[in-house]
Amino acid sequence: MNLYKIISGFFFILAMTINFGFFYGNPIILAQHSSIELFAAIVINLIATVLKLGDKTQLGAVLLATSLVADIQLIASATVWTFAEYLTKSISVEAVTAIISLSGGALIANTISVILFIGDTLKSKR
């Protein structure tokens, strides 16, 4: 077994599942979405991005691109939440839907990344 593939696959899948855990729920009720889970999704996604930096293949470039998209979306989601919470002192429905929608975009990017990773794993020779 390739230890690098195990560790990277673990973080790719963990990033997707934590992001899904944050995303799941009513998109207009912020109480159903944990800020701690959003923070964890950002940290795990950043770790997954760092793990993708060493791959110099074409697939590695696509995996890195999907990871960067997820990072940007999750950081934007946290930024909107922080702005709404601390600067405007009230979180509107529009802000909540923006927060959840941005994390949904990151979830799609993570899903594409995991699908590509599984496809590459199935394609590789033993």
**CA nearest to 99, candidates 89, 87, 114, 85:** 85
Alpha carbons 83 and 54: distance in angstroms, whole number: 34
What phi-psi label fits residue 25: left (phi over 0), alpha (psi between -120 and 50 degrees) or beta?
left
pTM: 0.91
Question: Which helix (H) or strand (E) is 79 found in, with range?
Answer: helix 58-82
Token pair 């909107």: residue: 80
pLDDT at 123 over 90: no
Q: Using one digit for the tens of pLDDT, what is the confidence trace for 67-106?
A: 999 999 999 999 999 999 898 888 889 999 999 999 999 9
* pLDDT number for residue 37: 95
* pLDDT number for residue 45: 96
